[in-house]
Amino acid sequence: MIFWVIATLLTIAALASVVIPILKGSESAFSSLDYDREIYLARIAEIDADVAIGRMSEEAAAAAKAEEGRKLIASSNSQQSSTSINGGISTKAILLLVVLAIPATAVLMYLDSGRPGFQDMAIASRPDRDPAGQSISQLLERAEARLASHPDDLRGWAVVAPVYLRMGRVEDAIIAYRNASRLDPENNQFKVSLAEAMVVGAQGIVTEDARKIFSEVAAEVPGDAQSRFYLAIATSQEGNLEEAAKAWESLIGDSPENAPWLPAAKAQYAAVQKKRGIEVALENSDDSETQTPGPTREDIEAASALSTDERQEMIRNMVSGLADRLKENPDDIEGWRRLIRSYTVLGDTDKAREAITNARTNFASNTEFLSELENIENSLPAAGETVQ
């Protein structure tokens, strides 16, 4: 409402600045005519005075009065003509159109391009204030605007850091985690996340700066699995395979059976041992006192944390190790199940069928297992095809 009051007053002021001079122009015309009349009367009186004192003859006085009269008539005609032009019907019509057109045009333009119902807000906050209706980019822009003016907003840095990482803006994520760590230096999770972002930025290489952070956290919290995981990777990357194997064995031994990092840790351990010339395959069997060597299906799928080439190499090495062990110990029924399942996951149908054939030979008298093998074989693609 205040807006419209102000707009109306401004419109009236603008119109007045145009109308008043026009109206004053008509009044000044009549004032000028009265002035000319007063001059005429004064000149006539002056001529009469000259005649009275003998300065001017009667004939000259008559001629002078006639000339003054002619001037007055000419001036009067000129002023009346000007008055007619300034105050005529056409001028009034134009003035009326101007008075109506200016505010009408202004209102129409504002209603078309303005926002009469919008509350006073800062320009930076004018996007829809409902977060549910905004994209991640819009929300991130708002958060960035907030952080630009409030660089000590811990919660803001903690929120945008993982978003940056998911969006592939690794350098921004590192900056965000640095600020979060600066504002909350006792928070070890911020430190670990910062170091992890550094590893991502270095294409999987645990840099010296990242290793220092992981070491610091591991010293403060000896049981922190995340820092131990990356320190083991760093040791492997340095070529210290024996120490790396010990680090992985220690982490695996201290981890709960359902730990999300355990499959990847086992995969890394197997890869390190493979480089040392030692074939190792681990499994988590709850119903047997002796662990059957070989990867579980979960182990294979969890290896997605590695690159495609590393993952394929690691899985095939583990499966190959399991196949070799089954040649030495063919009576391990659970091992055959895992081997067949592993080949199936890898999409190697031919080797899966070969493993089924070998398992049948070793368990020819186990009708239940033979039936299970038949069902598995029937579910496989035709020979030469791969599992999609």
Average pLDDT over residues 188-199: 92
Average pLDDT over residues 313-329: 77
Residues in CB range of 370: below 8 A, 6 or more apart: 360, 363, 364
The pLDDT assigned to 364 comes to: 82
Give helix 367-379 / helix 333-346 axis angle, nearest 10°.
Answer: 0
Q: Match 């640095």 to its residue by tokens.
A: 178
Confidence check: pLDDT of 289 > 90: no
Say which residue, 55 or 232, is predicted with more confidence.
Answer: 232
Say which residue, 278 or 79, is predicted with more confidence.
Answer: 278
Task: Give the pLDDT band of residue 204 (cuts 50, 70, 90).
Answer: confident
CA distance 311 to 387: 17
CATH architecture, range 144-238: Alpha Horseshoe (1.25)
Residues in CB range of 210: below 8 A, 6 or more apart: 195, 196, 198, 199, 202, 230, 234
Structure tokens of 106?
A: 């202004």
Confidence check: pLDDT of 227 > 50: yes
Structure tokens of 131?
A: 């977060």
Average pLDDT over residues 253-276: 85
* Domain boundaries of the chain, sorted by first residue: 2-113, 144-238, 241-388
The pLDDT assigned to 80 comes to: 57
Using CB atoms within 10 Å of the CB of residue 338, give its burial: 0 to 12 exposed, 13 to 18 middle, 19+ buried.
Answer: buried
Long-range interactions of 34-40: CB distance < 8 A, separation 24+:
36/71, 36/72, 36/75, 36/76, 36/79, 37/72, 40/68, 40/69, 40/71, 40/72
The per-residue pLDDT for range 130-170, each reduced to its tens digit, is 555 566 777 888 889 989 999 999 999 999 998 888 777 88
The per-residue pLDDT for range 330-386, each reduced to its tens digit, is 888 877 887 887 787 677 788 888 999 998 888 888 888 888 888 778 777 665 444
Query: Where does residue 259 fall: left (phi above 0), alpha (psi -120 to 50 degrees), or beta otherwise?
Result: beta
Listed residue (270, 272, 277, 283) closest to 336, CA to CA: 283
The pLDDT assigned to 127 comes to: 47
The per-residue pLDDT for range 34-92, each reduced to its tens digit, is 767 778 788 888 888 888 888 888 888 788 878 887 877 776 666 555 555 444 455 65
Say which residue, 15 or 169, is predicted with more confidence.
Answer: 169
Structure tokens of 370?
A: 């033979």
Say which residue, 126 or 109, is predicted with more confidence.
Answer: 109
Confidence check: pLDDT of 249 > 60: yes
Confidence check: pLDDT of 287 > 50: no
The pLDDT assigned to 119 comes to: 52
CA distance 37 to 79: 12
The pLDDT assigned to 217 comes to: 92
What CA dihedral angle connects 166, 170, 174 and 177, to 10 degrees?
A: -10
CA distance 314 to 311: 5
Confidence check: pLDDT of 29 > 80: no
The pLDDT assigned to 200 comes to: 84
> Which three-class secondary structure state does DSSP give residue 192?
helix
The pLDDT assigned to 108 comes to: 73
CA distance 185 to 68: 103
The pLDDT assigned to 172 comes to: 92
Using CB atoms within 10 Å of the CB of residue 115, give its burial: 0 to 12 exposed, 13 to 18 middle, 19+ buried.
Answer: exposed
* Helix, strand, coil share (%) of the chain residues, nearest 5: 75, 0, 25
Task: Give the pLDDT band of residue 295 (cuts 50, 70, 90).
Answer: very low
Tell me if 343 sits within 8 A of 351, measured CB to CB: yes
What CATH number has the domain spanning 241-388?
Answer: 1.25.40
Q: Which amino acid is at 271?
A: A
